Structure 1
Amino acid sequence: MTKRKLTFGAAGVLLIIYLLTGLYTVGSDEMAVVTLFGKVLQDRVPAGIHYRLPPPFTEVKKPKVKVIKRMSVGFKLLDKAQGISPSRDERERLTGDANVITVGMMVQYTVRDPASYLFNTESPDFLVRKAGEALLCKKIGMISVDDLLTVGKAEVELYLRQGLQAFMDSVGAGLSIRSCNLQRVEPPAEVIESFNDVARARANREKSINEAHAYRSEILPRARAQAQQIVQEAQAEAAARISRAEGELARFEKVLSEYRRNPGILKQRMYWETVQQILANARKIIVEEGKDGRGTTLRIVTTPP
């Protein structure tokens, strides 16, 4: 009897220990998925201590849903850390204007749906790389090398992020694409100096154009102001001359009217007015009798101006 009790007691202790193996913890950056014979029993189990049926009935997988994962395209992170350069096939792409460009991309993503991440695709991280390579080749083949090296980089990154997210949603990978960042976008090493020469020439051209625009913006207002001033001075001079001419014309018409009424008196008056103007500036007056007593000669020495 005592032996039987010991046997049942030992079995009870073993059963309790076995049942306690069903306890599991989920970390703060994790989310658990519990499966029963391969079928999802619980999804999105939050952080904390939880219980499930002990193995082998159930299995717990705990992907890290708050950790930002990184996947490289065009190079391998391990090779980069070891200083190994990527192969030409990995990095070189053909642009829309038939130029070869070397480009890499870093994709950052998180697990959005743990169950989909674990069971819908065989290797979602590898899928990120391959889908990213396909989208990168497609987009770069649609734009020119100049756009890619200058203003088109942001457009490419946005296209890649949206396209990669749409693909992941279509296959149910359970991933959220945070960013797609292009890295080391540059021509191949064999022709990089030629590309740099072209870039410098374009920069110099833009600089010259900008300087010409700046000079034009500076000189045109000044020239317009000077032209306006000249026009105003000419208009003022024309108005003054017209005014003087009209005054002289009025005086002439007045004199002409008087001359027609009494020519002799007007001639005499004009004569004495002229003599008066001359004598007003006279410094010396010499009166000489003419030869044979005929008439007199009047000499007037005026003050020099």
Structure 2
Amino acid sequence: MAWNEPGGGNRDPWSGGGRDQGPPDLDEVIRKLSDKFGALLGSRRSGDGGGGGGGGSSGAGFAGVGLVVGLIALIGWLIASIYIVNEGERGVVLRFGRYLETTLPGPHLRLFPIDRVEIVNVEQRRFREIGYRSGGNGGRQAAIRSVPKEALMLTQDENIVDVRLAVQYQVKDPRAYLFHLIDPESVLVQVVESAARETIGKSTMDFVLTEGRSDIVADIKTLSQRILDSYGPDQPAEAPPTGQEAVQAGLDKQQGGAGLQIVTVVLQDAQPPEEVQDAFADAIKAREDEQRLKNEAEAYANEIIPKARGQAARRLQEASAYKEQVVAQAQGEASRFEQLLSAYQKAPEVTRERLYLETLESVLSQTSKVLVDVKSTNNLLYLPLDRLLNPSAGSNAASPATSSLPETLPATSSTTIDGSAAATRLRDLNRGREVR
């Protein structure tokens, strides 16, 4: 007989019983479950027999079904009452629609279904655009769409400027974010736009377009945050809590405001309207040319003024040196004259003759005339015609005195006659004349 073929008496090789096994009886299953739960709860089944046994078994079955259903309901209620707050989020618990508490990250319990939990992400950076809208699958320039109603603003000098802002913010108070305002994001856009109009209305167009961008952004952020914090109801004064109540009170404290914290305000673009951009570009170019010419003029002035000052200082020093030189020469001449006067008073004749001879020597040393002794014979005169014809060579004071005088070539030796020799000769003749 095969293993899967039934044997005699409708039995298979694997069954140990002697009868056919049908489906389990539902009443029997319920009875067993009720017995087990009854044992857990400390109840005992009645041991009486007779006609009351059937009624007791039926009542126990209904009790077991009710217990199972209750247990399942309890487990489902516990599962529905447990909620988990993730990291970076806060749970705002509402009981019958009224605020109850704010829970931190982690598992928590609530009374389901009377409690409802709103999960708010307090670390997410949200982004809003003012004055323009970006989106679509195209490129950045093609996707940007201007919103003139938000972008066009009036400056202090009555000019219109196109301003585009990008605001990053996050939730700082979940309770205020959920209950103080109906649409906090729309309020944020309107507040930042209003603050931008106020700030730009107090500034000139040149300040907005050039060096005032950082100051304008800081003012817009400060003013917008102050306006957002002023919204919402105020919490009445209460006694300060202590202990664990103080921790929970710090979470549940109702702060006035929209519950939003502005992180950054970025000035994406600030330019004149499209209708006047060409003219404004020409004006900017002219202003840049003006600034460039001013810088070039300042550079030239910074270059030429030190040179002029240096030349002036050099000339002053030269004048001072010339003054000292002239004064020293004058003092030397005066001292020489005084000494000469003293010598003349002591020996007039000798001093007179010395002065005469020194004067002749000085004059004849610079002249081109030649004195020749006619009594001497056999002298060959050599006249340097090139020097005689060039007066500048003979008048050069730096050249030696013999450069402009001719040379005599006697038969035996060469002798050069210059002014000093002529002066000596003239002096000897005068002395001989005096001897006679």
* TM-score (normalizing by structure 2): 0.62
Q: What is the aligned partner in structure 2 of residue 107 from structure 1?
A: 167
What CA distance in whole angstroms lies between the structure 1 residues aligned with 2:338 and 2:217? 89
Q: 2:88: which partner in 1?
A: 29
Counterpart Cα distance in 1 of 2:370 and 2:168: 112
Which residue of the partner structure matches residue 327 of structure 2?
Answer: 242
Distance 1:265 1:97, change over 3 A: same
Deviation per CA, 1:115-171, whole angstroms, max 9, x where unpaired?
111111111111101111111111111101100001111111101111111112111
Query: Distance in 2 between the 1:268 and 1:72 partners?
Result: 113
Superposition map of 1:84-163 within 5 A: 85-163=145-223
Structure 1 unaligned residues grouped into runs of 5+: 290-301
Amino acid at match of 2:74: L
**Shift in alpha-carbon separation, 1:162–1:276, aligned structure 2, 3 A:** closer
Q: Secondary structure at the match of 1:204?
A: helix
Matched, 1:253 2:313: no
After superposition, the Cα gap between the structure-2 partners of 1:273 and 1:155, relative to the gap in structure 1 and judged at 3 Å, is closer
Moved more, 162-171 or 15-24: 15-24
Matched, 1:69 2:122: no
Residue type at the aligned position of 1:108: Q
Contact 2:134 2:145 (8 Å CA) reproduced: no
Is this contact kept in 1: 2:229–2:258, CA < 8 A? yes
Which structure has the larger Rg over C-alpha atoms?
2
Larger RCO: 1 or 2 (CA < 8 Å, sep 6+): 1
Q: 1:227 to 1:71 in 2, by over 3 A?
A: same
The residue number in structure 1 matching 2:282 is 197
Q: Where does residue 107 of structure 2 map in the other structure? A: 49
Task: Decide whether aligned partners of structure 1 residues 241 and 21 sit closer, same or farther in structure 2, where only a CA change above 3 A counts.
Answer: same
Query: Is the 2:92–2:174 Cα contact (8 Å) retained in structure 1?
Result: yes
State which of 59, 62, 84 in structure 2 corresponds to 1:3: 62
Query: 1:294 maps to which residue?
Result: none
Q: Tell me, what secondary structure is at the counterpart of 1:67?
A: coil
Which residue among 371, 380, 386 is the counterpart of 1:285? Answer: 371
Which of 50, 70, 73 does residue 14 from structure 1 map onto? Answer: 73
Quick one: distance in 2 between partners of 1:66 and 1:286? 122
Q: Verify: 1:271 aligned to 2:356, yes or no.
A: yes
SS at match of 1:194: helix
Q: Deviations over 1:214-264 (max 9, x none)?
A: 222222222222221221122112211111111112222333344455544
Please provide the CA RMSD for this pair.
2.6
Provide the aligned length of Structure 1 versus Structure 2.
291
* Residues 131, 164 of structure 1: 8 Å contact kept: yes
The aligned amino acid for 1:194 is A
Structure 2: where are the runs of 5+ without partners?
A: 1-58, 232-256, 376-400, 406-436
Aligned to 1:298: none
Q: Return the letter of the residue paired with 2:165.
A: M
- Deviation at residue 15 of structure 1 after TM alignment: 3.0
Distance 1:153 1:266 in 2: 95
1:278/1:13 CA distance change after superposition, 3 Å? closer
Given that residues 19 and 53 in structure 1 are in contact (C-alpha distance below 8 angstroms), is that contact kept between their aligned partners in structure 2?
A: no
TM-score, scaled to structure 1: 0.86
Which whole-Å CA distance do the structure 1 matches of 2:309 and 2:359 have between them? Answer: 49
Which is further off, 229-238 or 148-157? 229-238
**Structure 2 residue matching 1:21: 3-state secondary structure:** helix
Partners of 1:286 and 1:236 in 2: how far apart?
46
- Whole-angstrom distance in 2 between the partners of 1:30 and 1:284: 124
Contact map agreement 2:128 2:168 (CA 8 A) in 1: yes
